[in-house]
Amino acid sequence: MLSIDLTGKRALVAGVADDAGYGFAIAKALAEAGATVCTGTWPPALNIFLNLLERGKIDDARRMSDGRLLSFEKIYPLDAAYDALADAPEELRMSKRYRDAGDFSLSGLAQRLVQDFGERPLDIAVHSLANGPEVKKPLLETSRSGYLTAVSVSAYSLVSMVARLAPLMRPGGAFLSLTYLAGERVVPGYGGGMSSAKAALESDTRTLAFEAGRKFGLRVNTISAGPLASRAASAIGKIEKMVEYYAANAPLTEPLTAGDVGATAAFLASPLASGITGATIYVDKGYHAMGVAVGAGEVL
């Protein structure tokens, strides 16, 4: 019988700050399959996340199928906007939410992993990172700064992560990121350069799969997930309507769950997916296959 077995593997899931999003669901699925899991959390959200864990506020969500609670081997501060600590403005480094975090850059994360676990500490790295400060603005009204921030944090950070973590990966390692259909089709309201960032993320996935595959023997894939009414997605402003629209028009009408994406991530990170790299895998109940909205085809 085939099963997903990640026993003895260590995963890093970058972008976990609560129990509501895809990052948390992926971390839980990897742990269910036997992996140990570390996280990278945005410094302004770090203390809140730690308090949620310490006070048992998310214990129900952490409960796994065998009754154990999902635990994190390490929780690192991570701001993926910065490749090195020196890149962060001094004002930010000295601010209340950052000054005690240590090196919260991507290079700092890599260094901490080596310090904590040795020279080749990782098998799986998950990029669940995105930030579009002007996501509610149409592209035509997006500032250069807002656009570049969206692309920097939501797309380039994957390039930086692979560059810094690939040398730390053990044989058979895998990278995984999260994208959205707006990277290839128009989704009104998903603005601020975020659609451009997702398009870049998907293109970079293919190129990184080639480069990291040839240089390190690693796989790189991305999951194009349907909308989820998580806390992070609430920044879009109309996420509930997007969820309803997908359910009304997808081939499978039951709501998409974070667990659906988590299970796919566990598969892609496992040896069962050893032949898959450079791919965009749709986990959206089939919505991506539709050419017109349900009902609209009846009048064509």
Report, as residue numbers or ranges, the catalytic residues: 180, 190
Which string of DSSP letters, residue by residue, matches the chain? ------TT-EEEEE---SSSSHHHHHHHHHHHTT-EEEEEE-HHHHHHHHHHHHTTTTHHHHB-TTSPBP--S-EEE--TT-SSGGGS-HHHHTSTTTTTS---SHHHHHHHHHHHH-SS-EEEEEE-----TTTTS-GGG--HHHHHHHHIIIIIHHHHHHHHHGGGEEEEEEEEEEE-GGGTS--TT--TTHHHHHHHHHHHHHHHHHHHHHHH--EEEEEEEPP---TGGGGGS-HHHHHHHHHHHSSS-SPP-HHHHHHHHHHHHSGGGTT--S-EEEESTTGGG-SS-TTGGGG-
Count CB atoms within 10 A of the CB of residue 215.
10
| Phi, psi dihedrals of residue 94, rounded to the nearest 5° | -95, 0
Q: What distances in angstroms separate CA 15 from CA 33, 59, 157, one per listed residue?
A: 20, 19, 11
Q: Edge-to-edge, what's the strand order for the sheet holding 10-14?
A: 75-77, 36-41, 10-14, 122-127, 169-179, 219-225, 280-283
